[in-house]
Amino acid sequence: MSTSPDTTAIASSLAKNQLYLDCYKSMQKDKLQLPTIPDVAFKIRRAINDQTANNAKIARVVQIDPAITARLIRIANSPLYRGRRKIESCPEALTRVGLKAAQDIITSFAMKAVFQAKTPVIRKKMTDLWAHSSYVAAISAVLAHKTPGFDPDKAMLAGLIHDIGVVPILTHADKRPEIIDNPKDLVETVRKLRIDIGLQILRKWDFPQDFEDVIINAENWYRDNDGPPDYADIVMISQLHSFIGKIDIKKMPKIDQLPAFRKLASGGLTIDASIGILDMAKEEIEQIRLMLH
């Protein structure tokens, strides 16, 4: 069987890409440094999953981190959850948002700690990655809030982790900047390994199975699977919205031609409605982004 010129060129390029070879070999030997779930998120997830825990006990764990406590109270008072009266304490916030939602919210707040680097070039790329991920997360939360059948807090966390497989690649490059011969090395490595590494991280963190679909399909634009719309569909459409004004839209697929959008549209979401929702929710999206930062 003959090999196409494009395939040969890609193989040749990867063979010269030391970053890709290093990351791939480390991944195969289970030696690639994967990020650990932030300690505060781990403790809170454990407390929430404790069958004997009540709101007061869980609140004591959450309040170990005053910054996360403050942000949890803020989101409990945000348009996603706003009630008739203002929430002013951690136990009240937990009651309003619910324990499962609080687990996803707090994990999202703690995720920023994972996106760290030392060298200026890689630190800038890590900052850009976090900015993109948090923007997609905010849009995902708002779209999920307006679409029946979705949990906005889970959608927010799904948006945050859709590119988590890029983090170990950047961390590896941060430790060995000399192995990147040109900018294309990083682009190629991310394109080839992002999904496999991302899945390893989710399994290490014991995240739900449907989050794996988010990582696999976040940019699988023409994915057309059976069944109702899922979080991968929400994140995919949110990504396309996040690119408006930043990427040449002619290079991107048209939102209303995607199977994911058609499935979401069955729940009442039209292209005008989705753009209108995001336009009207600019302040809400910005609030969520600020809370994540």
pLDDT at 276: 63
pTM metric for this prediction: 0.85
> pLDDT grade, residue 261 (50/70/90)?
confident
Q: What is the pLDDT of residues 138-174, one digit of tens each?
A: 999 988 888 888 999 999 999 999 999 999 999 999 9
Q: What is the pLDDT of residues 128-141, one digit of tens each?
A: 999 999 999 999 99
Q: How many CB atoms lie within 10 A of CB 281?
A: 20
Tokens of 81: 């959850």
In whole angstroms, what is the distance from residue 293 CA to residue 288 CA? Answer: 9
In whole angstroms, what is the distance from residue 147 CA to residue 151 CA? Answer: 9
Tokens of 162: 């859709």
pLDDT over 50 (residue 273): yes
